[in-house]
Amino acid sequence: MPTEPHPTPPSTDPRTANLLEEFIAEHEHRLWRIAASIAGPDQADDAVQSACLGFLRAFNPDTAHGGAAGAFSYLARATANAAAKLVRTDARRRRGLPPAVRRDELDDPVERAASEGASPEDLVMRLEETRELEARLEALPEEWREVLLARAAGYSPAEIQAALGLTERQYRKRIERANRRLGKAEAGRWMIPA
């Protein structure tokens, strides 16, 4: 069964979708320049896309002021805000925590088990557990993984919050969600304390 190439969210007003299509057809280059002037050309496309999605979700033609010009002004501000958010996120990451410990510097549970004289079955089990945890970590959203790994590396919640520019609530939510996704199937075996 064929689907639309870019389906609109179910709650989107069709008038908003049509208006957005017109703006993209006529003014995409202007939106891109707005984003590029704030976030740089390499992130301009992401900012425009984010702004367009936000426009589809939030813009209401019934309550809008200024007609089409007002609607485009709204979209232009949304583009500038999306670009600024990308810049803030990058700045937080750049000034963030020291680089993560390289994989080869970590205590390898399989090597540790071998040095402790573990049986071949135990070695295989630890290797499988390690691979499973690595796969689960890779599947987490980057912002969750970043906080979780920093906490596991021994940084205090206050250090992580300051380095990444997070509120206490944002920090706790990221830890909780990551722990929930990591530990749900394994009864909390891999939980990291908040």
Domains in the chain with CATH codes: 14-95 (1.10.1740), 114-183 (1.10.10.10)
Percent helix, strand, coil in the chain, to 5, is 70, 0, 30
**Residue 37: predicted pLDDT:** 92
Q: Model pTM?
A: 0.47
Q: Identify the band that residue 164 occupies on the pLDDT scale cut at 50, 70 and 90.
A: confident
Q: Would you say residue 33 has pLDDT above 90?
A: yes
Rg (CA), the chain: 23
Q: Among 43-47, 54-58, 148-152, which stretch is predicted with the lowest mean pLDDT?
A: 148-152
Whole-angstrom distance, CA of residue 102 vs CA of residue 96: 17
Q: Identify the band that residue 102 occupies on the pLDDT scale cut at 50, 70 and 90.
A: very low
Indicate the DSSP class of residue 105: G
**Residue 118: predicted pLDDT:** 67
Whole-angstrom distance, CA of residue 2 vs CA of residue 10: 18
Q: Identify the band that residue 61 occupies on the pLDDT scale cut at 50, 70 and 90.
A: confident
